[in-house]
Chain A
Amino acid sequence: MAREQIQYVTAPKVEDNRKKYCRFKKNGIKYIDYKDANFLLKFVNDQGKVLPRRLTGTSLKFQRKVAQAVKRARHIGILPYVTDSLK
């Protein structure tokens, strides 16, 4: 009952502490294909921007490959540069 009256001044920081891992190392994926749009959509937020590593948990080496693949996909018109409702 008392729970409902509590109004938080700042939003309570919900941190999901599931261990983040680099899905490329885990699945043994070596090459990220820039032509594969629905795979790249997992690394892009709904505005079409590349997601940061701290959210996706990918390692630096593969984050660069993902960023390059997204930029190539954008160049040939598979992914948008900026949009408002991608997903």
Chain B
Amino acid sequence: MQQYETVIVLTPLLSDEAAKEVIAKFRGVLTDNGAEIIHEDNWGLKKLAYPIQKKTTGYYHLIEFKAPGELINKLEVEYKRDERVMRFLTIALDKHARAYSEKKRSGAFNQKKQQTEEVAG
């Protein structure tokens, strides 16, 4: 059961609950096929660095989950099928990435210290 992290960018045209419904659909795809969702992060509407499909803002959502390998292909086919999803990115998390995400979830404050330390460094 590899750990994955997927970020999806939804088109800003749809209303808030429509966006929630799209995300619920993908969450359903995950949980139905035996994935275990660890963490979800909703960044909401954010300004894009360059226009995607003629739109300058996107509705970001991040899902971190544990899943068997072959589920990823199914998930990505679902993404491609749904035209409300403008962009998606799914990556496998190696051990450093997993440690980073745990630390970020649990110790948000030392993340700040690590940030300032990075700035200083």
Contact = CB atoms under 8 A, between A and B. Distances in A.
Q: Are A and B physically bound partners?
A: yes
A80 B50 contact: yes
Given A30-B99, A72-B91, 15 more contacts: A27-B114, A29-B118, A30-B96, A30-B100, A31-B96, A35-B62, A75-B89, A76-B60, A76-B87, A76-B89, A77-B48, A77-B49, A77-B52, A79-B49, A80-B50
A53 interface: no
B62 to A, nearest CB: 7
A39 B96 contact: no
A77 B121 contact: no
B87 A31 contact: no
Interface size class of B (residues with CB under 8 A): 20 to 34
10 nearest A-B pairs in the assembled complex, by CB-CB distance: A80-B49, A77-B48, A30-B96, A31-B100, A31-B96, A27-B121, A23-B121, A31-B97, A80-B50, A76-B89
19 contacts: A23-B118, A26-B121, A29-B118, A30-B100, A31-B96, A31-B100, A33-B100, A35-B7, A39-B115, A74-B49, A76-B9, A76-B89, A77-B9, A77-B50, A77-B52, A78-B49, A79-B49, A80-B50, A83-B49
B83 interface: no
Nearest to A86: B49
A62 to B, nearest CB: 11
Contacts of A75: 87, 89
Interface in A15-72: 23, 26-27, 29-31, 33, 35, 39, 72
Chain B contact residues: helix, strand, loop or mixed: strand
Interface residues of A, number: 19
Interface of B: 7, 9, 48-50, 52, 58, 60, 62, 87, 89, 91, 96-97, 99-100, 114-115, 117-118, 121
B110 to A, nearest CB: 13
A41 B22 CA distance: 31
Contacts of A23: 118, 121
